[in-house]
Amino acid sequence: MGASLWRCSAAARDLFAEADRATGLPLTKVCFEGPAERLTDTAFAQPCVVATSLAAAAALAELLARANTKVEAAFCAGHSVGELAALGQAGALTPSDCLRLVATRGRLMAEASAATDGSMAAVLGLDEAALVQVCEAASRETGVAVQVANLNAPGQVVLSGHRMALTRASELARAAGARRVVWLDVGGPFHSIYMQPAADAFRASVASSPMRSPSVPVVLNVSAQPSCDPDEIKRELMVQVTSPVRWSDSVKTMVELGCTIFVELGPGQVLSGLVKRTAKDVTVLNVEDEESLLTTAERLQTLV
C-alpha cells in the first residue's frame, strides 16, 4: 500500500517519512511490507490509510505543479478516519498533527474494540428508517446494542454493534426485505456506543491539538455539512467515532453546492464506487498508485 507512490514521487516519500517521525510507528514499513495482520490491526490501519491518502494528495499536487496545471479543491471530505486526512489536506491540521491524532484515534479504538465482542455488517436494499427499527428490535431482544453506523450510498447502510445483536439484526433485516447482508472484516464495532471509551479518551487529544481554519470547507461526517470553523470541527471529531457517518448525504451536499469532479486520494476505490452510486453525471477519479496518479493528472489537465 503506497509503495508505488513512494517510488515515483519525492513528495510522497517526504510524507511517509514525516508519518514515521510524527507517530513514532514504522508506518512506511507496515504499509509496504505488512504483514497483513498488522496492517489490518486498527492501531496501524488507521494511520497507514491516512498516511497513504496524504501521500497520494502530495504526489498529485507535485505532478500537477510540474505540468503547470493549477487545480484547486472546492471541498474536502473523508469517510470515518478519512475525515482526518481531509482535514490534513485542507490545512486545518498540519500533516504531523493530523498523523499524531490519527495514531491516537486508532490506538484508542483498538483498545475499545478489544473490550467488546463486536463487528459491522453492510445491509443492501433497506433504508435508514427501516434499519433503525431493526436495530431497536434486535437490541431490545438481545440486551446488547446494535445501531446504524454508516450511510454509505442509497440502499447501502452499515450496522455496528455487539455480535449477538448484529446477528439478530441481520436476521430481522433479511425478514424485512434486505437483498443482502454482508459481514465486514473490521477490527471492531466502529461508530457505535461501544466506541464511547475511545471517544472520551480522544476528546483531550482533540482539544489540545492545534486546529486552524481550513483553506477550503470540509464536509463533516456527522452533519454532512461543510465547515471552516475550527471549534465546530473539533466538536465533530469528539463525537464522530460513536456517530453515524453520513457519507451519502455528504456527497449529495457537495453535488448540490456545484461539485462535478471527485478525486479519491488513498488506497482502494471504495469511495469512488459510493460516489458513483450516489451522484449521477459526475466525474470520479482516484489516486492510489503510479498508474492512477498519471491517469488522474492527465484527466484533470483536460477538465480544468
The CATH number of residue 162's host domain is 3.30.70.250
Claim to verify: residue 141 and residue 20 sit in the same structural domain: no
Claim to verify: residue 105 and residue 160 sit in the same structural domain: no
Alpha carbons 270 and 257: distance in angstroms, whole number? 23
Claim to verify: residue 109 and residue 122 sit in the same structural domain: no
Which of the listed residues 155, 187, 219 is the one where a domain comes to its end?
A: 187
Claim to verify: residue 208 and residue 297 sit in the same structural domain: yes
Which of the listed residues 172, 187, 202 is the one where a domain comes to its end?
A: 187
Claim to verify: residue 150 and residue 275 sit in the same structural domain: no
* Predicted TM-score of the model (pTM): 0.96
Confirm whether 80 is a catalytic residue: yes
Claim to verify: residue 291 and residue 213 sit in the same structural domain: yes
Claim to verify: residue 205 and residue 240 sit in the same structural domain: yes
Total domains in the fold of the chain = 2
Which is catalytic among the residues 9, 79, 170, 191?
A: 191
Claim to verify: residue 228 and residue 91 sit in the same structural domain: yes
Confirm whether 250 is a catalytic residue: no
Claim to verify: residue 63 and residue 154 sit in the same structural domain: no
Alpha carbons 295 and 302: distance in angstroms, whole number? 11
Which is catalytic among the residues 9, 53, 79, 80?
A: 80
Plot region of 156 (φ>0 → left; ψ -120 to 50 → alpha; else → beta): beta
Which of the listed residues 187, 202, 222 is the one where a domain comes to its end?
A: 187
The CATH number covering residue 282 comes to: 3.40.366.10
Domain hosting 50: range is 3-113+194-303
How would DSSP label each residue in 204-270?
HHHHHS-----SS-EE-TTT-SEE--HHHHHHHHHHHTTS-B-HHHHHHHHHHTT--EEEEESSSSH
Per-residue pLDDT tens listing for the chain (304 residues):
999 999 999 999 999 999 999 999 999 999 999 999 999 999 999 999 999 999 999 999 999 999 999 999 999 999 999 999 999 999 999 999 999 999 999 999 999 999 999 999 999 999 999 999 999 999 999 999 999 999 999 999 999 999 999 999 999 999 999 999 999 999 999 999 999 999 999 999 999 999 999 999 999 999 999 999 999 999 999 999 999 999 999 999 999 999 999 999 999 999 999 999 999 999 999 999 999 999 999 999 999 7
Position 259, amino acid: C
